[in-house]
Structure 1
């Protein structure tokens, strides 16, 4: 039986509540085994109260399988699985603050490329499910606003992190897309905002893929996430989705001319930081842009390896000089 007497004390990555016949379960870290939640009387009462709040929150949100609840001072992201045996609520804690990129484990050698003032185009953060892609995206937006000022606007299906507000001389507004507001309506609102940075929380379909690619040529920085197992796979996935709406040749041209870069990340084996990362930046990368234009994506592996090695080797001498 677990020693925790409240949900707040319980350590978990995902919490599974509400099935009518199966035990509640939890996993301690992303990708870890899912264990039976053996709760004592006090913890069980707290879990039941949280479950009731999840049901009420879901009932208040029409046409959605996701919601957010605040229980005992802790915010949770809640998604719904409608199984043959009943509804299961899957909960994840939402961080109360946005960390810095360096504290997430992004190597210092890569941070300089992420902080180039005139960075524009489409920047993708990819990774497996639950690898912290949205956290990294929000950290990048916050850090760029602090460094350079300006305006950022987000379009998120469910707002998870507290990014809205002032960051240095910059400011961010968070908005929702989906539910009662269609993606097209929400996207048009983002494009009319005048923001220098636009964040779309995830490329889910051909409509969003085509939209971000078109916008990549308009001089703004468009940041988004894609579930993928590598940087190359993220590019291939974006191509495949966008080609459902745009001519294949146009997709490759937009990728070659509009892609700013890809940051791929995944958690270590124990589900903890630091992140394991690979990057691809397109600034001054003529060979890489040519590969994208030709659609020869398998050749990008060489460029990624060489570019990362060059960033690390150039960073080490600079660090020694500063020291």
Structure 2
């Protein structure tokens, strides 16, 4: 007796010139056996069962379902007032207010940076996300967003600070307001995610990630440097989040403004207090106050004054791990910059404190494939570390050799060639 998925072997005759079954199974490739089984006229029962068991693709149940959905053409300033008969009108993410039939929420605009004029309504530009198919540049915001732009403008106008953060329809925006030369007032708004990314999600090199994650066991100063908009604060936040989830303890942040939501519990035994600094002069006072909370980790958004640099170096040499950012073009420029600014408050002691407290310097440049990172680590619990000696002697220009040596250790003997390829991939 046979089943629908089993051929009737009793009625199947072997071809006269066929080889023995065992030899045929041992010598024929699997693909050839599969082809013979599927195409064999003696195997109609199995083939029929397979075809009957294959689910059919669901058919479109309406003409509208077969019609291609229209997409927003962000490179044009005009949006059609209506749709052709039978076409589906585009929709935008849910908004707490009714924006009208032809209006859209800013949340649906694929922007990274949004530039909004505050002293007059209706004028706005944006830089699109770096996605395939999206026209790049600084473009006019389509008129379909005009109503929601006015809501956002009215929300920002009462804010007194020039650097601020705002939440609009559940979307977090970091803003900077400036009066420009022709008398107009504009604000630049950057979209910020509430979800803190991991180093892997930021596409850091997998060989470098374990070395960065291990910094959470140390005390001292970690500096992330780079140009504006190249993810310095995001990298610091990702590191701090990992430290809290993995090692626990208490973190305290001073930011202007707050970008990612870190306030609250992280994992088991990790907690973060997140604060904003209103004025540049408040950075040093905020750091003094932060130390009274006895945090294991300190996140300082940026070193902007000699007094703040003084407090950062003192905290880094008194049992805390301090993470901060600086604007600089290289690792050497980063170290020279912090020496120069801290010398205004500490004099010649600045280089000694930096040499004693430095843990790591990262300089990152965002590429289309992820961050291109150069790094310099000091040896833990080793006052005689040659990197620290160069800092004490103010010979920062000699650190290039140690940077290349560490890249070879982390990435292998072809690190230099790989670095050149990474630069060419930009």
TM-score calculated relative to the size of structure 2:
0.67
Aligned match of 2:258? 159
The structural deviation recorded for 1:112 is 2.0
**SS of structure 2 residue aligned to 1:129:** coil
Q: Report whether the alignment pairs 1:39 with 2:130.
A: no
Match of 1:196 among 268, 280, 296: 296
For the structure 1 residues 38 and 193, does the alpha-carbon distance in structure 2 shift closer, same or farther, using more than 3 Å as the test? Answer: closer
Aligned match of 1:231? 331
- Are 1:164 and 1:171, in contact at CA under 8 Å, matched by a contact in 2? yes
Q: Report whether the alignment pairs 1:75 with 2:178.
A: no
The structural deviation recorded for 1:303 is 0.8
The structural deviation recorded for 1:288 is 1.0
Alpha-carbon distance in 1 for matches of 2:373, 2:366: 9
The answer to which structure, 1 or 2, has the higher relative contact order (CA under 8 A, 6+ apart) is: 1
Aligned match of 1:51? 153
The structural deviation recorded for 1:156 is 1.2
Alpha-carbon distance in 1 for matches of 2:331, 2:284: 27
TM-score calculated relative to the size of structure 1:
0.87
Q: Which digits, 9 at most, give the CA deviation of each residue in 1:80-119, with x for residues without a partner?
A: 0112322101111111100101211222222222222531
What is the correspondence of 1:201-212 to structure 2 with a 5 Å cutoff?
201-212=301-312
Aligned match of 2:352? 253
How many residue pairs get aligned? The number is 304
The structural deviation recorded for 1:55 is 1.0
Match of 1:99 among 197, 207, 213: 197
Extract unaligned runs of 5+ from structure 1.
317-323
Aligned match of 1:279? 375
The structural deviation recorded for 1:290 is 1.0
The structural deviation recorded for 1:179 is 3.8
Extract unaligned runs of 5+ from structure 2.
1-75, 80-91, 93-103, 416-426
Asked which structure has the greater CA Rg, the reply is 2
- Are 1:137 and 1:224, in contact at CA under 8 Å, matched by a contact in 2? yes
**SS of structure 1 residue aligned to 2:114:** strand
Alpha-carbon distance in 2 for matches of 1:192, 1:233: 32
Aligned match of 2:319? 219
Aligned match of 1:175? 275
Aligned match of 2:395? 296
Alpha-carbon distance in 2 for matches of 1:20, 1:149: 47
Q: Which digits, 9 at most, give the CA deviation of each residue in 1:257-278, with x for residues without a partner?
A: 111111111111xxx4411111
For the structure 1 residues 281 and 180, does the alpha-carbon distance in structure 2 shift closer, same or farther, using more than 3 Å as the test? Answer: closer
What is the correspondence of 1:12-27 to structure 2 with a 5 Å cutoff?
12-18=111-117, 23-27=123-127
Bigger shift: 212-221 or 174-183?
A: 174-183
Deviating 4+ runs (over 6 angstroms): none
Alpha-carbon distance in 1 for matches of 2:301, 2:290: 13
Alpha-carbon distance in 2 for matches of 1:127, 1:180: 21
Alpha-carbon distance in 1 for matches of 2:167, 2:188: 14
